[in-house]
A and B are shown apart, each in its own frame.
Chain A
């Protein structure tokens, strides 16, 4: 596929420097809700300025350019190995240009590879789809918010959570309490109910591919998503944990079937610097649409 590396480099640059409009709109709205002169309003104003400045300067919104997560949907004939090679080259070049921080560390020796390449980086999730188009999505997820992700196994007596929707609600709100201040709030939750430990976490991250304003097609989950945001914002944790009106900007929940013996609730916390972007390539390899 022609120009694939150049297109992926542009995807990385855009994702690192520019937040998608749906996220910017929600942040701007919540900035207006904080009390005049409060620490929370001070934080939100700096956040809004930072979003503008990063775009203007074409530089990383946040210095922790995070885990590099590609999600690809492509036709059967698509060469996944060629994609992976192009993605690795684009990531190395983006690092040299300063779009990405040197962010890949050998877990045993502690040595930073210096180019963001190494086992598990970048991480690429590919699926087939019918038709000729190729959808490539990218999320950059920083370590601060990744560290506060949580996986609960229900029942959980600590928070009195049973294996039902109320139990799910209890553990999600507990996660919001535990996370306070640490994950760069106001944040967005991606949640998966069910699955095994690995698929559950992955599906919780896939929820973060949804737009802020979409509505869950499952009415039970749609109601829960709404309730979580309203309830979390009553906790008073606020931006950066300074106290204030906005603790969560959004919550997206998916469900997978589970084993009778298991009931996991996996929560991926995304910071306000919600870096997600994507494009559609036609069969000639040309970008025909930006997805966010």
Chain B
């Protein structure tokens, strides 16, 4: 298990390779469909995202006794952000994108250029991942609705797999090609 701890420097990110299993500790900012569209269209981020990590996640967060409590916080499907992600990675020097299902060639190219990785979290594992959130530091763009807002989470030992690295390797592309080959034997 590799520990990835804030600050997220380009060197630390470039050292990670496809297939590495990591535990992440530090800040992550949630952002999904509405946030990506907003940033892509030139919206000014309400928090500084430079060298930060974006988490494709629409959590369940409720207020108990005046404090935010994270009830569930697993990843959402990343493919929907493919039209926007590469641009956003380059614009803000994003160091990692956490999600599920992987992303396409535009994002892979931006990862290579900027020094960014795609971290695949375990889809559906909302409780294991909520346990890793040790603090809710703020919420922004709440007008997009709770699941679509930017939540600033501090996480500890958040488990993920590097499925796209900053050297042009994508596990998703590799598995797709291999499974297509296998299918030819079966039909």
Interface residues of A (CB under 8 A from B): 39, 42-43, 46-47, 49-50, 53-54, 57, 59-65, 98, 101-103, 105, 110-112, 114, 142-144, 147, 159-160, 169-170, 173-174, 177, 180-182, 184, 231, 234-238, 240-243, 271-273
- With A42-B161, A242-B161 already in contact, the answer to whether A184 and B179 are too (CB < 8 A) is no
Interface residues of B (CB under 8 A from A): 19, 21, 34, 57-60, 62, 71-74, 76-77, 79, 100-102, 120, 122-128, 130-131, 145-148, 159, 161, 163, 171-172, 174-176, 178-180, 182-183, 185-187
Contact B77–A240 (Cβ < 8 Å): no
- With A47-B125, A182-B77 already in contact, the answer to whether A235 and B179 are too (CB < 8 A) is yes
Contact B159–A242 (Cβ < 8 Å): no
Contact A184–B175 (Cβ < 8 Å): no
Contact A54–B127 (Cβ < 8 Å): yes
Contact A241–B175 (Cβ < 8 Å): yes
Q: Which residues of A contact B101 (CB under 8 A)?
A: 144, 181-182, 241
Q: Which residues of A contact B71 (CB under 8 A)?
A: 59-60, 63, 98
Nearest-CB residue, chain B, relative to A182: B101
Report which of B100, B147, B161 forms a contact with A39, defined as CB distance below 8 A.
B161
Nearest-CB residue, chain B, relative to A56: B127
Report which of A50, A143, A237, A240 forms a contact with B179, defined as CB distance below 8 A.
A237
User: In the complex, what distance in Å separates the CA atom of A271 from the CA atom of B119?
Assistant: 20
Report which of A64, A174, A235, A272 forms a contact with B182, defined as CB distance below 8 A.
A235
Q: Which residues of A contact B100 (CB under 8 A)?
A: 144, 181-182, 184, 240
Q: Which residues of B contact A142 (CB under 8 A)?
A: 124
Shortest CB–CB separation between residue B187 and chain A, in angstroms? 5
- With A60-B71, A63-B57, A101-B72 already in contact, the answer to whether A47 and B179 are too (CB < 8 A) is no
Nearest-CB residue, chain B, relative to A271: B124
Shortest CB–CB separation between residue B40 and chain A, in angstroms? 16
